[in-house]
Amino acid sequence: MEGAGETMINQMHAGIRLLLFFFTFLLFLEWLRPVEEVTDTSNMGYFIVYAALLVVLYAFKVSWKWTVPVSFFYMSICLYMLHYRALTMMEDESWLRLLFVDLADGIRDSFTADLDGLTPGFRTFLFLLIIWMLCYLLHYWVMVKQRLFLFLFLTFLYVTVLDTFTPYDGDGAIVRLVICGFAVLGALALIRLFTQHGLPYSIKKMGIWVSALAGMITLGVLVGFAAPKPQAIWPDPVAFIKSTSEKYGSDRKRIGYGVNDQKLGGDFIGDNSVVFTAKSPVRTNWKVEHKTVYTGKGWLSSRSNTAEAIYYDDENIGLYDYIGELENNESIAELDVEIDHGHIPYPDPMYIQSISVNGDEDPQELLYSEGTSRITPYEEEGVEGERIEEISIAFMSPTFYLDALRANGREDYDESYLGEYTQLPSSLPERVRDLAFEIVSENAESDSVYDQVKAIEEYLRGEKFTYSQAGVAYPAEGQDYVDQFLFETNIGYCDNFSTSMVVLLRSLGIPTRWVKGYTAGLSTYDSAVGGTVYEVTNNNAHSWPEVFFPNTGWVPFEPTKGFNPEARFLETFEQQEQEQNETEETERQEEERTTVPERSDEGGGTDKSFDLASMVDFLKESWKAVAGSVLALGILTAIIYRFRGKWVPRLWVIYYKRSKSDERFSKAYLRLLAELARFGIKRQEGQTLREYARYVDQFFGTVEMKILTAEYERILYSGAGSMAEWQEYEKTWEKMILKTIA
């Protein structure tokens, strides 16, 4: 019946039809009004005029042969006035050429998912296309479906959400929506009475309906304004959400490396963006900096040690955190940086022999901050440094021997380490200190510093605490961050665990500092580089404590549940030698076992087996091109399906012309019914074929459907069908099915 509804609208006076679309346009206008206020979009007049132009074209049923060029002509004018007029005044260059260059670059960037590279002109072009699409949908809902309730509901939802969570004031919009929405719904209800329920059409009946509808809307609006307004039952959700986020951690942050740690707590959202990839023979955490001042809410950098040193990246800089056994072999880590945060991540604990940034051809100066262990390219004031893309680090990774670590007691510390690295705020609750002494007295195997550190570490890794990035609280005003985690919530992520371990150890007088960086990342063997490659993403951002031992230096520990320590610990130096010999023997046997014999060329064939590793490498290298191709194929498929009514009937004509089946006529007739339903002329429940045929002929102004239906019923009840019937009615059937192309 939808087609009949459209016919009814077409038969109305043009002014009435335009009035219906006018109210529909006012509804659509409520989607455009807030855009300028809640975004940085300006010059909204161009877009409103464009929407009005499209509504008028659809209201008067202007052919697509005129609608498309008129629409693109107006879009060109908008783009010229908004983006290219100033350029052409300053430069002697065609604005059309600039426009086509922007469109081509924008399409390419869209397929490669480089959304940041989209030009303002291309973004405006996309916005205009969206307006065009929405105006067509409004035309479809009004002219064909005669159902606008879903759009009206979505508009109410859109306005109320913006009114609640943005500065946009939706009071006036709600009133306008009530007036326009009920006007359109009432008009469409009247059309359905005329078309579907057989109400005779007359100007008088329409006038009565419109008057009654206008009166009801006016009365409803007046009552709404005059009626008393009760106070809100629910609290303001924005204020509620803000207060909840401060109290319970609902203010979710995106995980990744950040420099501001003054206020710890709250939830995190995962982020798989790759920060860098590292080819390294040693699995290690990647350190960026350490902080020493705990405030009760978070961390600040050193207030006393602000010394800095400048090195050239091609010299032996000799930066190290430990003073133990230094006979390990030198390793080289090659980092390819995807996201440049301005710092240089390096293996932890630090023993760096040299660093090269962006190759050796143009050595850069490096700035090392002793108070934070942070390494950055040195930049002169007012001069912007080049982006960090490649880093090569020559380093040595230590092996820590437990017999040496256990030889340290608290009495062995120099006074210089008992100030800055044992600092705690005066507001720290006494029960935190009491807990630290209780843990070591009950669980430490000896009075050595190492055993006390391990007791604290194992306590935090115990069953009492839960690792989670969701449901993590912010401390309330006047509440200590560590105290809240240890005694109340018992749930958190690395910042909670690492900060708690630092504070507990400092409560015992053990020098400890808080370290930030990344975990080792996801390791894969890359045959192209002939080694292990680690992919480090924002999800690998991590924090951990480092403890100072007088005879060893700074030693990293891992209190966070679910994370494994990357530092290497052995009981004695003799165990190191024994394990080294065993490792060399294992590697020799593995090499013999995995040696690939030369392939015989007997048989003359080539290896055609499926190489999964090659396929995975290809997808990693070309995922953007693959994703773009899939997206383009999906869009093309959607377009072909959307306009199937233009080409599918012709395919059925070709198919049935070539068919040799005796049942060809019956099948072709059923196919005609399906295409008519797709076109919008659906057979109603309980409607006979003859009644349906009369309705179709009345709709198209033909008699062919009645003829085809009579022949189909004769074949259906007699069971007789032959090639002769098809040849007689083929032209009639073809004429009817091609009408569904319109």
272 within 8 A of 339, measured Cβ to Cβ: no
How high is the pLDDT of residue 267? Answer: 80
Q: Average pLDDT in the 454-460 region?
A: 93
The residue among 96 and 337 whose pLDDT is bigger is 337
Compute the average pLDDT of residues 379-400: 78
End-to-end CA distance of the chain: 16
Evaluate the CA torsion angle 653, 658, 664, 667 in order and state its sign: negative
Highest mean pLDDT among 233-247, 279-293, 395-409: 279-293
Lowest mean pLDDT among 277-281, 364-368, 508-512: 364-368
**Is the predicted pLDDT of residue 241 greater than 50, yes or no?**
no
Tell which residue, 268, 272, 288, 340, has the closest CA to residue 536: 272
Higher pLDDT, 396 or 543: 543
What six digits make up the tokens of 513?
């500092």
The pLDDT-based confidence of 439 (bands split at 50, 70, 90) is very high
Q: Is the pLDDT of residue 456 over 90?
A: yes
Alpha-carbon gap, residue 503 to 481, rounded angstroms = 10
User: How many other C-beta atoms are found inside a 10 Å radius of the C-beta of residue 145?
Assistant: 15
Q: Could you tell me which residues come within 8 angstroms of residue 449 by beta carbon, excluding any fewer than 6 positions away?
A: 405, 408, 409, 410, 412, 510, 547, 549
Average pLDDT over residues 362-378: 82
Distance (Å, rounded) from C-alpha 487 to C-alpha 160? 41
The pair of three-digit structure tokens given for residue 537, joined into one six-digit string: 């993403």
Highest mean pLDDT among 64-68, 335-339, 556-560: 556-560
The residue with greater pLDDT, 543 or 109, is 543
Cα–Cα distance between 355 and 364 in angstroms, integer? 10
Give the span between the Cα atoms of 241 and 221, in whole angstroms.
32
pLDDT at 558: 93
Q: What is the pLDDT of residue 574?
A: 60
d(CA 353, CA 330): 9
Choose from 285-299, 597-611, 617-631 the range with maximum mean pLDDT: 285-299
Confirm if 408 and 555 have CB atoms less than 8 A apart.
Answer: no
Per the model's pLDDT, the better-predicted residue between 727 and 370 turns out to be: 370
User: What pLDDT shows up at residue 240?
Assistant: 46
Residue 156: the pLDDT is: 80
> Where does the pLDDT of residue 80 fall: very low under 50, low under 70, confident under 90, or very high at 90 and above?
confident
Distance CA 359, CA 353 (A): 16
- Split at pLDDT 50, 70, 90, the class of 586 is low
Give 140-174 pLDDT, tens digit per residue: 777 766 677 777 788 888 888 887 777 677 777 88
- The confidence score (pLDDT) of residue 591 equals 54
Please tell me the predicted confidence (pLDDT) of residue 596: 41
CA 342 to chain centre: 25
- Percent of the chain whose predicted confidence (pLDDT) is above 90: 12
- Output b/e per residue, 191-225; b: 16+ Cβ within 10 A: bbebbeeeeeeeeeebeebbeebeeebeeeeeeee
290, pLDDT greater than 80 = yes
- Return the pLDDT at 517: 92
- Would you call 34 exposed, middle or buried from its count of C-beta atoms within 10 A (0-12, 13-18, 19+)? buried
pLDDT value at position 724?
Answer: 62
Using CA atoms, how far apart are residues 357 and 555, in angstroms rounded to an integer? 27
Confidence of residue 588 (pLDDT cuts 50, 70, 90): low
Return the pLDDT at 602.
Answer: 36
Q: State if pTM tops 0.85.
A: no
Kindly state the DSSP code that residue 286 receives in the 8-state scheme: E
Where in 470-603 does DSSP place strands (E)? 491-492, 512-518, 522-526, 531-537, 541-549, 553-556, 568-570
Question: CB under 8 Å to 126, separation ≥6 — which residues?
Answer: 106
Say whether pLDDT at 252 is over 80: no
Q: Where do the domains of the chain lie?
A: 2-226, 644-741
Q: Which pLDDT tens digit goes with each residue over 624-669?
A: 666 667 777 778 777 777 777 777 788 777 777 777 776 778 888 8
The stretch 687-696 carries a mean pLDDT of 85
Looking at residue 601, its pLDDT comes to 37
DSSP H or E segment with residue 351: strand 351-357
User: Is a pLDDT exceeding 60 seen at residue 88?
Assistant: no
Identify the pLDDT of residue 543: 93
Residue that has been written with the tokens 């891992």 in this structure? 558
* Mean pLDDT across 382-404: 81
**431-451: average pLDDT:** 91
SS3 285: strand
Out of 32-41, 203-212, 716-725, pick the least confident: 716-725
- Least confident range from 238-247, 358-367, 427-436, 449-458: namely 238-247
Mean pLDDT, the chain, rounded, equals 77
